Amino acid sequence: MSYVTKPVLIARYTEAKLRELTDREAPYQDAIVDTVLDQAITSADSVIDGHLSGRYALPLEQVPTLLTDVAARLTYAALFIDMAPEKVTADYQAAMRTLRDIAGGTVRLDVGGTTAPAATADGIEVVASDRVFGRDNLRGW
């Protein structure tokens, strides 16, 4: 299951732009090269799964709109082999911040039926010995 699809990317970025970014080698096909696009989508999916795996059971039953947006931004940025425009770079960085927020628990996903792994009841307990030098120990010195 991918977080973003070709039709979503076409609607968001236009077929002409995706054709320009994926049709890289001669003889040119004058069409979107699916293998290049699929590779970028797979890369975005891997990045998203890596951030979600510690908090959500994968694969998700349904893809939240937020993740579709993140996947579209990551996929589009991955299609630039040279220098990405400033807007694309900013969108990529925003998508990565969103993923870090999801992984950290700041942003929660409503993913219908999947639950975050339960937090363990085992906490860290620190036991310290009595103080060697304290008010009571140093009286009279």
Is residue 38, in this structure, part of any structural domain at all? yes
Closest CA to 10 of 22, 18, 2: 18
Is position 112 within any domain?
no
94 has a pLDDT exceeding 90: yes
ω before 59 within 30° of 0 (cis)? yes
DSSP track, 5-59: -HHHHHHHH-HHHHHHHH--SSSP-SS--HHHHHHHHHHHHHHHHHHHTTTS-SS
- Rg of the Cα atoms in the chain: 24
Q: Which domain holds residue 99?
A: 6-104
Considering the domain boundaries, does residue 16 fall inside one? Answer: yes
Given a cut of 80, whether residue 126 has pLDDT beyond it is no
Three-class DSSP category at 140: coil
Residue 85 lies in a domain: yes
Task: Give domain status of residue 64, yes or no.
Answer: yes
pTM of the model: 0.78
Residue 81 lies in a domain: yes
What angle is formed at CA 79 by the lines to CA 74 and CA 85, rounded to 5 degrees?
80
Question: pLDDT tens across 62-86, in order?
Answer: 999 999 999 999 999 999 998 999 9
Domain contains 21:
yes
Mean pLDDT of 95-119: 79
**Rounded to an integer, what distance in angstroms lies between the CA atom of residue 55 and that of residue 104?**
8
Mean of the per-residue pLDDT values of the chain: 88
Q: How many domains does the chain have?
A: 1
For residue 73, how many other CB atoms are within 10 A of its CB?
22
Query: Could you tell me the pLDDT band of residue 114, with boundaries at 50, 70 and 90?
Result: very low
Looking at the domain assignment, is residue 57 inside a domain? yes
In which band, very low, low, confident or very high, does the pLDDT at 3 lie, cut at 50, 70 and 90?
very high
